[in-house]
Structure 1
């Protein structure tokens, strides 16, 4: 038996096996983002009339530190999964795009920007948690300011708009992804842009998390040979 025959009949190496972990990370990130969208407002769900009085506003949050703790865990989980998804998406697009294309880097950069903001938001949650645990020793104005950060940083998933746009262009221009995913990505990109054109940046989380879930699932199924 020749060496050529041996090479042809050799068992597949580890690198030949379908690698879907990065795509699954995208699904987890998206689902976590959806959980944040549903769960996060429960903490600061207060009468708007309290916003003019920090003492009363902070008093309305007393005993809700568990919400902040869970929110921190969700934020960090989403950040980590987005970073893994970014690396995998870059590799996936680079394999289909011409050498030197900016699209793989832009797609990854958008996800990493969002991951960074999620880590910042998680940090705010940590400080807010301990302040709520010791309200009698904490300045109410400080707690109110932290609550503003809690309600802002982890919600601004605008960076994912870069990723959705890059995937849309890659799919529509060179079929680097399936056409339906390209069209869906374009729609999500437009929705993210819309949230940035008006003072509603928090809402970027909704289309961005939905896109991460759908795109991750699509790539995961594609690796199984069920997608295109």
Structure 2
């Protein structure tokens, strides 16, 4: 009797074995932190409203002077936004892995979910990308800055890091996984459908920055729900 191992049978059996659900909750905590810091970054950005002040409208020099008094807020915005960006990538990786374990092998849900959060991370990275240039310039001698560039910077940080529309795609993907494939509790699916749907609508509308209000909120609720489920398990 031959003792040779049948490699074809072994490979087939291994590929058909159920995939285990990823253990640990560090990635879920990262998502919760990303959502909270996303909200904090939006609040800090909202305090930098010199360019939207009617009393300063059209006066680039006055706007630059106002911004020079708000360097701590600029640093707070930058720090919160970039920490959120880093943590969001950790959460995206963990969510992608879990969705692959809980959804059908041919499902597009895991890929759409991670792509949506990737769009948000890119917007955060770019949204905070000019703060180094202007924070140091405003803290030093604001007179060395061309006032119109400071006006542009104020518009930039009031818009780009608020582009959380990609989270709407992730929310809709999670809703599909929960409501159609039973991957999560149905309440989590409905929350993702509502908040994710609204966020996705902002993504395709001219009011894209409004997604900065609903996207982080969705992330906090979902991460809290996932954290609760991991504790129960």
Give the whole-Å Cα distance in 1 for the aligned partners of 2:215 and 2:119: 13
Partner of 1:125: 131
The runs of at least 4 aligned residues of structure 1 exceeding 4 Å deviation read: none
Partner of 2:62: 56
Count of aligned pairs between the two proteins: 212
Normalised to the residue count of structure 1, the TM-score between the two structures is: 0.87
The answer to whether the 8 Å contact 1:68/1:128 transfers is: no
Deviation at 1:145, TM superposition (A): 1.2
Partner of 1:7: none
Alignment pair present for 1:192 and 2:199? yes
Give the whole-Å Cα distance in 2 for the aligned partners of 1:150 and 1:17: 36
Partner of 1:80: 86
The answer to whether the 8 Å contact 1:18/1:224 transfers is: no
Equivalent of 1:36 in 30, 37, 41? 41
Unmatched segments (≥5 aa) in structure 1: 1-14
Select the structure with the greater relative contact order (CA < 8 A; seq sep ≥ 6): 1
Give the whole-Å Cα distance in 1 for the aligned partners of 2:192 and 2:176: 9
In terms of mean alpha carbon deviation, does 135-144 or 56-65 score higher?
56-65
Give the whole-Å Cα distance in 2 for the aligned partners of 1:29 and 1:166: 19
Change (3 A) 1:49 1:195: farther
Partner of 1:8: none
Alignment of 1:138-177 (within 5 A): 138-177=145-184
Deviation at 1:112, TM superposition (A): 1.1
Partner of 2:109: 103
